[in-house]
Structure 1
Amino acid sequence: MIVYAEYVFLENFIMNFIILSLTSKFGKTQTKKVRLLMASSLGALYAFVLFFPSLHFLFSMMMKVTCSMLIIIIAFSPYRFKEFFRLLGIFYLITMVFGGAGFALFYFTSFNGIISNGIFYTTNITLKNLMLSCGLAYILINFCWGYIQKQLSRDKIYMKVKIQMNGENVELKGLVDTGNSLKDPLTSHPVMIVEYNAIINLFPESIQAAFIGSKYPNFNEITMLLTNTPWMTRLRFIPFEALGTENGMLVGFKPDSVLIEKDYEIKNIENIIIAVYSKRLSKSGDYTALLHPDLV
């Protein structure tokens, strides 16, 4: 059976590009198209090892894992190990769904192909059939991901939160946010983001004045107001990045403790930082705090 090199490259390049694009989408990670093109090309070139018997050692399990890791690095350049392995896991999951959809289509149609060292090569693939398998995989991924997201959006990820500071308490509802990876740069304590209006009663009137009527807090003013006061030891500045915001900064405070209740189980957390957010976190008002996943 004849396997055409140009078909091998085209098939793998298209599939890799779609899989990486979906990894970017479901991983909520922005990247440049040129990086996806480069990573897809690397994955497509890897399949060419079939044509070079002296390079068949590259088909080992370790080399396949290494290649997939390199693809993720080229495509997304994750700066943290946690983010890297999260994207790698999503990449593998989507790849498995695509592989299953592809084999199902091959089984029920008249595709011809061979399997060599764990890689499937087809000989009579057409653009129509390739789009069919991609479309089927995309539908499956969206259905499964939508179901998972729907399950995660239920009440089980909403938790009652009580913040204690200087004898004062406030109670609010928090949402466990898997995308919240903020930590205090000084202590590495996890950060919980809370709407200012939900915790206004915890702050002295001098600090309240620095927030009221201002879109963004005045960091210099807050620092001056707290100098030579017990609150100065609680003060933190938390850097963050978000879509449309680079080199952002949040004012944070170390509370006495935070009580988190879920399913009638109460967890007392002392090593935590509260970051104050001036705007609303939820348009519907369902929650007023974003909990770091490490807290639960």
Structure 2
Amino acid sequence: MEIYLDVVLIENFIVDLFLLSITFNVIRVEVKNKKLVLSSILGAIYTMVMIFPTLSFFSFMPIQFCVAYFMSLIIMGKERWKMAIKSTAVFLIASVTLSGICFYLAEFENSYTFCNGFSINNFSLKSLVLALMIIYIIYFRAISYFRERSVINNFTFDVEIYIDDIKYLIKGFLDTGNELREPITNLPCIIIEERLFYNYKFNEDKVYYINYSAIGYEGKLKGFKVDRVMIREEGKDFREVKAIICPCKDILSREKDFNALLSRGVV
């Protein structure tokens, strides 16, 4: 019997990607495509233990469970190891369910006898099953992508900041949970990527210090008053707002959809 290793790896990659997509859809956890692909590659590579006899030791059930858990851990991160256990359980249930469905379909094309048992020599529906998996994966990821884009577009504002007759054009994202305000003036704060002001040096003598706290983090932000801040929602005109801007060294959006975070008080 001839086995094409590249075909086996590709088919199992598709199956693992399909099962992982279902798993995290069931537990309602948003995951990154890169991590899904990386975890699926690991699952596809693990398939080789069924092909090479020298690797048969790694096919024992406890090791299978460990590999499934590690696949979930790649996606969830070690900080969420408890959730990874839950996702592993769902992944294994989905795997068993898919195996049962495939076995049921294979029964139509392969005979069963009491003496010889059951062997799968032909499974012409495999291509159809794989095609349905690919369609589901594309559909699921496309829906997630467009849903995310819709949220970003609905909460993105055009911002103009004027400092010493220089106008900075910025894309701001409304952070509905952000109520950051400067305590003395009670003005809302706009967190902006520091790199946008590479050609301007703020006056450190007129700095405001704003305390902030988040889950596991707390500290102080430096804030500055500027000459003018204008904000515009899509389809509307610019309007002036009073706010403190807080430059930060972090990149606020890896996809570069926005470079500033607006507090609710700004809008």
Whether TM exceeds 0.5 here: the answer is no
Which structure: larger Rg?
A: 2
TM-score normalised according to structure 2 size: 0.44
